[in-house]
Copies of this chain bind each other. A is one copy, B any other.
Amino acid sequence: MVITKTIKVDSKKELDMINITDKVQDAVGRSGAKTGTVTIFVPGATGAITAIEYENGLLKDFAGALEKIAPKHLDYEHHKKWDDDNGRSHVKASLIGPDMTVPFKDKKLILGTWQAIVFVELDTRPREREIILQILGE
Contacts and interface: CB of A to CB of B under 8 A. Distances in A.
Contacts of A37: 39, 134, 136
Interface of A is mostly: mixed
A70 interface: yes
Copies of this chain present in the complex amount to: 3
Q: How large is the interface on A (under 10, 10 to 19, 20 to 34, 35 or more residues)?
A: 35 or more
B97 A61 contact: no
Interface of A: 1-2, 4, 35-37, 39, 41-45, 50-53, 55-58, 60-62, 65, 68-70, 76-82, 87, 90-91, 93-103, 105, 110-112, 114-115, 132, 134, 136-138
A94, A98, A105, A134 — which one has the most chain B CB atoms within 10 A of its CB?
Answer: A94
